[in-house]
Amino acid sequence: MPELKSRQVSQLPPLQAIRVFEAVARHLSFTKAAAELGMTQAAASYQIKLLEERVGAPLFLRRPRQIVLTEAGQRMAPAVSEAFALLGGAYAAARSGADGVLCVSTLLTFASNWLAQHLGSFQVAHPSLAVRLDTSNRLVDFAREDIDIAIRSGGGNWPGVEVHKLFNADFTPMLSPKLAATIGGVKEPADLLRLPILDPGDIWWRDWFIAAGLPVEELAKRPGSSMGAQAYEANAAIAGQGVAIVTAALFKAELADGRLIQPFDLVGDDGHAYWLVYPQARRNVPKIRAFREWILAEIAGQ
């Protein structure tokens, strides 16, 4: 049996060629794959040529401005991606099992307005597991980055990962009581037209205006400021700078203590939600399982 395993390993193509194939198949672009791997496009093409010679069949169809996987490439791509995920999982598990460091990639507002207010109970339950937060809007590459688990906002249909819905990413206008008082209170949606709108280019405002029966062309007349995160816009709203459109579930404390008010029950919903995400191959890693069980129970108890 050891001889058979040795023979199977020796029949594998060079790891570099497989690595390039996985990147090109994921991006469907030699240019993007080469940039990711820190090599030239010609070098990436050469590695694919070597691999195709070993396989004995083309793996990509080269078309003008586009490449697509052949049938052979389509058979290989999922298995290669899973293999890299398994390698990444084995490496991470070797570095730190149930203990060590749990690296969580999360959106800034979720980190500041939800995780920061709840994470203490997780740390009490798992005192030997340190949590490191990486706040970013980008989608992480679990196979290549030192990230164990992520919290994303979107439709939840990302390939190759396990997803658990946390709560809907719905949206509604919020403002400070003092700003509302400057016009005698906000009693109907049309009253918002008399106030500054924060980030009027946000698609959420357009959707909410349509649902409320307000003229969307009014948004284009407003200064096109953008702060890039709900937490920043909510802070501006608390300071009386304008009306923000945010997810109510992330601002329960601000609503409870009166720093913000939600003048209308009308809530927009574009089908997006907040999701817990991690690689399928790592679902049973102890520290990932511990965080998953904790956050799902914490959300359910709200």
pLDDT in tens, 215-227: 999 999 888 778 8
**The domain spanning residue 248 has which CATH number?**
3.40.190.10
Residue 25 lies in a domain: yes
Q: Where are the beta strands (DSSP E) in 107-260?
A: 129-135, 149-154, 161-168, 172-174, 244-246
Task: Give the Cα separation of 300 and 2 in Å (integer).
Answer: 50
Predicted confidence at residue 92, as pLDDT, reads 62
Q: Do 251 and 183 have their domain in common?
A: yes
pTM score above 0.85: no
Residue 189 binned pLDDT confidence (cut-offs 50, 70, 90): very high
pLDDT tens digits for 147-167?
Answer: 999 999 999 998 889 999 999
Question: Is-contact 273 152, C-beta < 8 A?
Answer: no
Which phi and psi (to 5°) does residue 182 adopt? -65, -20
Mean pLDDT, the chain, integer:
89
Q: What is the mean pLDDT of residues 107-125?
A: 94
Predicted confidence at residue 295, as pLDDT, reads 97
Domain span at residue 61?
2-69
Q: What is the mean pLDDT of residues 262-280?
A: 95
Residue 79 lies in a domain: no
How many structural domains are present in the chain?
3
Q: What is the mean pLDDT of residues 272-287?
A: 92
Which residue in this structure is represented by tokens 């991470």?
A: 92
Task: Give the Cα separation of 103 and 218 in Å (integer).
Answer: 43
Question: Is-contact 247 50, C-beta < 8 A?
Answer: no
Closest CA to 24 of 56, 50, 54: 50
